Amino acid sequence: MKNLFIVVLFTMASVSVNAQDKIGEICKWDFDKKCAVALTFDDWLTTHPTIVVPALQERGMTATFYVITKDLNQNTITQINTAAELGNEIGNHTVTHPSSDVTIAEEARPAKERLDAALVSQQVLTFDYPYGAFSNETIDSVRKLGHIAARGVWPPSSYSYNFAPNDDDYYNLRTIGVGAANGANGLTTTAQFASYLTKAIKGGGFITYLYHGVGKSSDYANIHKDSLYAQLDTLKSLDDKIWITTVADAIKYHREARCASFSGIEIGNVNPDIYIIGLVDTLPDDIYNQPLTVKVYNNGNTFCEIRQGDEICPILYQTNEYVMFRAIPDGGNISLKRGYWDINSVQDINDIATISVNNKTIFVTTDTHATVVFYTLTGKILSKRTGTCSFSVAKSGSYIVTVNGLPKTIVIN
């Protein structure tokens, strides 16, 4: 363990940030991921609550389900509320699933009112055109009712972040059909499923997949349940790059991020170790309450605690340039506190250091190439660093490893 030594990182350099400096940046997607993906399931088929919802829950994932309201009864209302409580989105797919864009526009309101009344903990925010049929008038009707986006059935034309240069583009969200009955664009293999994820990661945009039948051969565009599991596992394996979310949350994020900005900064006026900043947007706060992931420049300081109002905002990552965390636009002042916590205990046995902080234990070891490897208790590698290393532990339950003088903060999982 000769390359590893403990230091107390407490460099209280004089604060040089002023109001003219750029405060930070807003990440394009949550957790600074490269793209966003939403799985959508149409028509609330009988296997959606029995196969799809549990498969998502098992993997800690959520999706969007578009419901036809004529199918609502006591049983299905309980089912959609259970799905919603797990974080899934329930969206509007009209009353009777008509094929004319005019009737679709007419049915948008009664379907939304019925769903909003049926859902205990969620407001309906997105729409799904039956058969993908819509016109400019349909878009206007759907938008006026408070839907923030709508999904059609057409395949993606672009994978870029700027998929919605005009507001109408949010009401023409493209999708990748799953299952053979969707025709030429209906993918059937895991490899095909994965190929679109690769495109999304490269393009940095937002894609949706469209499912119907899962595990019931008589359902439209049915796929075997094992195919769904394989696709979910493939998606999950890429979740360090992909924000797996719902249509509503992805669109809320995208709309907020394009208009949000940092507001006035006040540093150390009351307490020299507390920075106060604001994060604002121009959207109605009753709908647009989605947290944004932001990077606030720290001018070489390190922060140990971030709050928005009374809520702690966990530190997601920290370098010598910025601290990354999530905050809600117009959600109140954000205060950032400088400083560190002490390490509770350190044992160094046979080149393996065991560090305990906040009742969590992590291992640190060195290999023969003087690479310092940080592991969690479950054996997951947190970090590998080469060079002269030292570490300390920050107050938020994260720890800082300093490599060649540059501190990095990593949250303990």
- List residues near Zn ion by CB under 5 A: 42-43
At closest approach, how far in Å is the CB of 219 from Zn ion?
A: 11
At closest approach, how far in Å is the CB of 142 from Zn ion?
A: 15
At closest approach, how far in Å is the CB of 180 from Zn ion?
A: 17
Shortest CA distance to 253 belongs to which of 281, 276, 214, 223?
281
At closest approach, how far in Å is the CB of 181 from Zn ion?
A: 12
At closest approach, how far in Å is the CB of 43 from Zn ion?
A: 5
At closest approach, how far in Å is the CB of 215 from Zn ion?
A: 18
Provide the greatest CA pair distance for the chain. Answer: 74
Q: Is residue 273 within 8 Å of residue 301, measured between CB atoms?
A: no
Tell me whether residue 42 or residue 107 sits nearer to Zn ion (CB atom). Answer: 42
Partners of 349 in the beta sheet? 352
Distance of CA 5 to the CA centre of its chain: 36
Tell me whether residue 43 or residue 107 sits nearer to Zn ion (CB atom). Answer: 43
- Residue listed under structure tokens 């002042």: 333
Tell me whether residue 91 or residue 205 sits nearer to Zn ion (CB atom). Answer: 91
Tell me whether residue 43 or residue 249 sits nearer to Zn ion (CB atom). Answer: 43
Tell me whether residue 41 or residue 159 sits nearer to Zn ion (CB atom). Answer: 41
Q: Is residue 375 within 8 Å of residue 362, measured between CB atoms?
A: yes
At closest approach, how far in Å is the CB of 196 from Zn ion?
A: 21
Tell me whether residue 208 or residue 402 sits nearer to Zn ion (CB atom). Answer: 208
Tell me whether residue 176 or residue 364 sits nearer to Zn ion (CB atom). Answer: 176
CA dihedral (27, 169, 44, 115) positive or negative: positive
Which residue has the closest beta carbon to Zn ion? 42
Structure tokens of 93? 């797919």
Shortest CA distance to 32 belongs to which of 196, 241, 334?
241
At closest approach, how far in Å is the CB of 21 from Zn ion?
A: 51
Tell me whether residue 43 or residue 219 sits nearer to Zn ion (CB atom). Answer: 43
